[in-house]
Structure 1
């Protein structure tokens, strides 16, 4: 598995062709991945990731108004007219049960849209880390961990999560022939593993979000393996693959 594993540090660090015939795990800890995982855990029928407000509007016009919710943010702030922001804690109530969430975010949903040549797109976060690791151990394709980043730049928390996934996949012993980006992510996790929440709260993006995003949101996103959800994109909709297996 580790021999066929790679990491991209942001949604702009790869060409779309780089992902052809590979399985992608999209990681956006703060907060798109965490929100998708949480919404599905609490009963959402599915999540449709969109690249911008125009796409969201077109999709919503083709759905029954009672069947969906609009969620999203621009630079961390709720989009006018939407039901929710990109807060996972807003996606826990009865109002999302059996609803399709149309999700529009600055980084995470755009990373998914750029990964269209992948054989499959899986959504990963700290919240469902063990579920992601268990699934990756069962597949044969080459796997790429795509960190969403922030506007094309590396985000500490996404690379840290990628490193945690790698650490678990190789049982804490990284092969010498691992690719450079894999080594970097693994090393980052080794350094900060003892204080995931504290190190993420001091990251550039978390500091940038202060005053916009609640402290509870960030703490929640730092919890490891809290939810057993396996979000996989199929025909434009992300749903919990584990539900289909039951």
Structure 2
């Protein structure tokens, strides 16, 4: 298990530079909704997920593949991108839709954070749905760990920070030492205050309010489920696969 004093939290993808992750491991968190959709897709049999930073990169990769093998997936500002097969609702990533497919995934915050973390020793994608898988993976680490909240437009988002706090709460046994890093203290404190009612806190968040007219009914409830799936999306050569598989 990593030393709790060597776990830091970044509150948006703009809060760090790529070089800061060299020699460390990273957990990318985008509860609403990229982490939740990626985790659901892998659980439902997607062969692999290729995260990209923008639509241009997505199209370049798509042109190298057979039409039957891939799906273009993701959103811009919460809405499905025109011409894409799937948006960013976990409900879309059913077994029938994604089984044995390669997903080319592009979102406003989450996939950009994944790409930006490419220099890390390990990059995992985490959310409440696969919390225990993330904790199990971190038990094997003795390097520094950074919990990267994707946030929204450079700002803190309560749902991502709550998940970071839930990991810290579990790792520390509910007792964060005074020597912990400032970011860890903020995330831990937020979880202590609101962790008893994740859905209540997240449904009142700024991001949930922004998405209210765009997100299908049930998405927020689903994204707040804890330990729904035993999958560990992790990066290998630019591709996310289930490292538990």
Deviations 1:88-125 (A, max 9, x none): 11001313101011110000000111112111110000
Greater mean deviation of Cα atoms: 25-34 or 12-21: 12-21
Deviations 1:121-140 (A, max 9, x none): 10000100111011101112
What is the alpha-carbon distance in structure 2 between the residues aligned to residue 87 and residue 93 of structure 1? 14
What is the alpha-carbon distance in structure 1 between the residues aligned to residue 66 and residue 216 of structure 2? 32
Q: Which runs of 5+ in 1 are unaligned?
A: none
User: Cα distance, 1:174 vs. partner?
Assistant: 0.7
What is the alpha-carbon distance in structure 2 between the residues aligned to residue 116 and residue 233 of structure 1? 9
What is the alpha-carbon distance in structure 2 between the residues aligned to residue 224 and residue 102 of structure 1? 26
Could you say which residue in structure 1 is the equivalent of 2:23? 21
Could you say which residue in structure 1 is the equivalent of 2:45? 43
Match of 2:139 among 117, 137, 140: 137
TM-score (norm. length: structure 2) = 0.98
Could you say which residue in structure 2 is the equivalent of 1:149? 151
Could you say which residue in structure 2 is the equivalent of 1:219? 221
What is the alpha-carbon distance in structure 2 between the residues aligned to residue 129 and residue 8 of structure 1? 18
What is the alpha-carbon distance in structure 2 between the residues aligned to residue 79 and residue 193 of structure 1? 33
- The 3-state SS of whatever aligns with 1:128 is helix
Could you say which residue in structure 2 is the equivalent of 1:228? 230
- The 3-state SS of whatever aligns with 1:17 is helix
What is the alpha-carbon distance in structure 2 between the residues aligned to residue 23 and residue 93 of structure 1? 30
- The 3-state SS of whatever aligns with 1:116 is coil
| 1:97 is aligned to 2:135 | no
Could you say which residue in structure 1 is the equivalent of 2:34? 32
What is the alpha-carbon distance in structure 1 between the residues aligned to residue 132 and residue 80 of structure 2? 30
- The 3-state SS of whatever aligns with 1:165 is helix
Q: How many residues align?
A: 243
What is the alpha-carbon distance in structure 1 between the residues aligned to residue 136 and residue 6 of structure 2? 16
What is the alpha-carbon distance in structure 2 between the residues aligned to residue 178 and residue 113 of structure 1? 27
User: Cα distance, 1:204 vs. partner?
Assistant: 0.1
- The 3-state SS of whatever aligns with 1:66 is coil
Q: Which runs of 5+ in 2 are unaligned?
A: none
What is the alpha-carbon distance in structure 1 between the residues aligned to residue 40 and residue 95 of structure 2? 10
Could you say which residue in structure 1 is the equivalent of 2:12? 10
Alignment of 1:38-77 (within 5 A): 38-77=40-79
Runs of 4+ displaced beyond 6 Å: none
Root-mean-square deviation (Å)? 0.8
User: Cα distance, 1:215 vs. partner?
Assistant: 2.7
